[in-house]
Amino acid sequence: MISPKCLFRNFQLRNFIRPVSPKSTISGNQKDNIINGPDLKDFLKEGASTTIYAGQLKSASGERLRLPPWLKTEIPIGRNFHKLKDSLRSLKLHTVCEEAKCPNIGECWAGGENEVATATIMIMGDTCTRGCRFCSVKTSRNPPALDSMEPVNTATAVVEWGLDYVVLTSVDRDDLPDGGSHHFAETIREIKKRSSEMLVECLTPDFQGNKHSIEMVLDAGPDVFAHNIETVEVLHRLVRDHRAKYQQSLDVLRHAKRHKPTIVTKSSIMLGHGEKDEEVTKTMQDLREAGVDCVTLGQYMQPTRRHLSVKEYVTPEKFKYWQQVGNEMGFKYTASGPLVRSSYRAGEYFITNMLKKKTVT
């Protein structure tokens, strides 16, 4: 395949060097200077992407957009990937990595260069009582009963894997009186019982705004409390289930900080649903006002044709812009990139050092 640089040089030659006749005034040295002159990267700001992509990034009439090159990932392979998969199946555990068809599953499970594998465990089963239009997790009004052994099995697995940072998330269980908060808390306690030094992040549902349920999870001793706002307020009813409310999500995060001021709070925003810049800015401001310490921004990717289509593929440069905005707003940590997810390689994020150094007040 011809590289972008070669294409650009061909463009230079085709548009700036005309066939030289015997009477041409362009010398050989001048032609060499044109050919070997400034390249495209010399006209871009430092750190900007030099990827030339001629494809469409915005959907004008609902057509399906082609995946841009910066969102293409490797096929999952590697010893750690298969080891984790076998371990999960044997203990009857689920991961949001698989259920939500996360594009980073290969990198996280295989562990990358340092082979430090990361997986986000999804507790309370693999069936959700809600039907958000961006999510591929199975849904049902009456999902199976909770597995009473799941807290122990989860703790056994993460300690066996030798992780130093684990993310626990869950489906919504509106069918349960407490939304599953007791089960969530038991899982945290079982992990801490086996490894007190392991950092635990809990990415919770909204528990229908029930403050007692939020407090039950917090009192179990997690190091990070996360709940995702997901999208801007104006698109909330389109993207999420009608029981998930924008202000309710902010109230969950706000109450978590009030109940346990030392806890690190975190939220995530998906881009690509057709949101405007001022709406993203407003959402980030709302999260800061709710006391959120860390925010992640990533690209929404349509899991199947039955789900919401992508309205826009946001460029890497624009994600860098939102990272700068987050830093200027005062978030202690902002992760922003096309493939960033709320729990993507959590153990390697700045948040780990922030917790260990106890810089959060």
Q: What is the pLDDT along the chain (361 residues), one digit of tens a residue?
A: 444 444 333 333 333 333 333 444 445 554 444 344 443 333 334 444 445 676 667 776 666 677 777 666 555 555 555 566 665 556 565 555 554 455 544 454 444 444 444 567 889 988 899 977 867 777 898 999 999 999 999 998 888 877 778 889 999 999 999 999 999 999 999 999 999 988 899 999 999 999 999 999 999 999 999 999 999 999 999 988 889 999 999 999 999 999 999 999 999 999 998 999 999 999 999 999 999 999 999 998 877 777 778 889 999 999 999 999 999 999 998 999 888 866 655 545 556 667 767 655 4
53-59 long-range CB contacts below 8 Å, 24 or more apart?
57/312, 57/313, 57/314, 57/315, 58/311, 58/312, 59/309, 59/310, 59/311, 59/312
For residue 138, the model assigns a pLDDT of 79
The amino acid sitting at 251 is: D
Question: Residue 17 is encoded by which pair of tokens?
Answer: 């060097």
Closest CA to 164 of 113, 217, 200: 200
For residue 173, the model assigns a pLDDT of 95
Are the C-beta atoms of residues 253 and 290 closer than 8 Å to each other? yes
Residues at the binding site are 97, 102, 108, 128, 132, 135, 343
Residues at the binding site for [4Fe-4S] cluster are 97, 102, 108, 128, 132, 135, 343
CB burial class (10 A; 0-12, 13-18, 19+) of residue 278?
exposed
For residue 177, the model assigns a pLDDT of 95
Interstrand relation of 333-336 and 294-299 (parallel, antiparallel or unpaired) = parallel
For residue 39, the model assigns a pLDDT of 38
The domain locations on the chain are 77-360
Instruction: Assign domain 77-360 to its CATH superfamily.
Output: Aldolase class I (3.20.20.70)
For residue 133, the model assigns a pLDDT of 80
